[in-house]
């Protein structure tokens, strides 16, 4: 069972890490308010990180809107804001450490290849389990640039139980190779995957507790493997309940979720968000 020791030896450091691919919705705001509440209760600090690695979907106007919406919702953070798009050299360094440790391997498979390979099994709502097509393949690169222009996957220890204690949900348990397979840490477009980027920056910023939605529980198991491979102490984790709309569906940008700007236009007050965050579950009619 993985338990973080970071909070024993230093101050509490939390973070909010929005992705500017659209206007902020209520679910994210509620999670961020919980992150702030926990940071304040611990007498610690809260950092803001903009996770803007998706170059096709992250727009400057969404970054500007994020700061305004977060401030309206009542969030405050330390002055220095980190932007992942400015940290590619750091992510390449972390990938290099994983390569030296021998825990990652290059992969030429596309998403279509994985989906079609022997009807690859998958957990509902997640990508198909990688069937290991490139696990034992030999790749020769003429330069470091070539090595960074291909996908890289983390080789999971098949059959190993990854267990950790969640601050809200208690004991959690996932089995590598069954609940998740070899996962991407680097993409052929020259950018890190979510898993690598999050771990790399949580390490760099000294994050002691990660507060996020419970839809990312399986990601925590993957990320714990990355912390171990890098020889880094993992933070504690606290997974918030997902906020559902009046039809019982999870709020999401792509589904036209209720945005903070929509709420503001409808006369909502910032203090009402904390009530929604505390209540969790499904929204009442009109939020």
pLDDT in tens, 214-228: 999 999 999 999 999
CA distances from 167 to 38, 108, 114, 170, 238 (A): 11, 38, 34, 6, 5
Band the pLDDT of 25: cuts 50, 70, 90.
Answer: confident
pTM value? 0.88
Tens digit of each residue's pLDDT (9 = 90 or more) over 173-198? 999 999 999 999 999 999 999 999 99
Q: What DSSP line would sit under 195-208, residue for residue?
A: HHHHHHHHHHTT--
Under CATH, which number does the domain 1-85+241-287 receive? 3.40.50.620
87-205+219-232 has the same fold as 1-85+241-287: yes
Nearest to 198 by CA among 44, 74, 94: 94
CA distances from 50 to 17, 19, 21, 243 (A): 6, 6, 11, 22
pLDDT surpassing 70 at residue 110: yes
Dihedral sign of CA atoms 268, 270, 276, 282 in order: positive
Band the pLDDT of 41: cuts 50, 70, 90.
Answer: very high
- Residue 169's φ and ψ, nearest 5 degrees, are -95, -10
**β-strands 45-50, 81-83: how paired?**
parallel
117/182: higher pLDDT: 182
pLDDT surpassing 70 at residue 8: no
Domain ranges of the chain: 1-85+241-287, 87-205+219-232
Q: Spelled out in words, what is the top-level CATH class assigned to the domain 87-205+219-232?
A: alpha beta
Nearest to 152 by CA among 118, 103, 199: 103
Instruction: Please provide the average confidence, as pLDDT, over all residues in the chain.
Output: 87
């Amino acid at each position: 069972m993985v338990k973080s020791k970071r909070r024993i030896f230093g101050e509490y450091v939390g973070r909010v890490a929005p992705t500017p691919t659209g206007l902020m919705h209520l679910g994210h705001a509620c999670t961020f308010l919980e992150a702030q509440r926990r940071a304040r209760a611990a007498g610690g600090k809260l950092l803001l990180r903009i996770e803007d690695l998706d170059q096709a979907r992250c727009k400057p106007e969404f970054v500007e809107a994020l700061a305004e919406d977060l401030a309206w919702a009542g969030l405050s953070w330390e002055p220095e804001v980190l932007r992942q798009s400015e940290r590619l050299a750091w992510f390449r360094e972390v990938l290099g450490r994983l390569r030296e440790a021998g825990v990652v391997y290059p992969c030429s498979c596309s998403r279509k290849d994985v989906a079609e390979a022997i009807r690859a099994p998958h957990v509902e709502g997640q990508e198909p389990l990688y069937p290991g097509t490139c696990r034992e393949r030999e790749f020769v690169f003429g330069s470091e640039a070539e090595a960074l222009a291909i996908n890289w996957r983390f080789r999971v220890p098949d059959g190993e139980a990854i267990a950790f204690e969640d601050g809200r949900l208690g004991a959690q348990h996932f089995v590598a190779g069954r609940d998740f397979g070899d996962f991407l840490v680097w993409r052929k477009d020259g950018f890190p995957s979510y898993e690598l980027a999050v771990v790399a920056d949580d390490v760099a910023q000294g994050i002691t507790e990660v507060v996020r939605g419970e839809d990312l529980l399986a990601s925590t198991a993957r990320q714990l493997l990355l912390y171990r491979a890098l020889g880094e102490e993992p933070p504690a984790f606290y997974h918030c309940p997902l906020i559902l709309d009046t039809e019982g569906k999870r709020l999401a940008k792509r589904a036209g979720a209720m945005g903070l700007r929509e709420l503001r236009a409808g006369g909502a007050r910032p203090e009402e968000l904390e009530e929604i965050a505390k209540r969790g579950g499904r929204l009442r009619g009109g939020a």
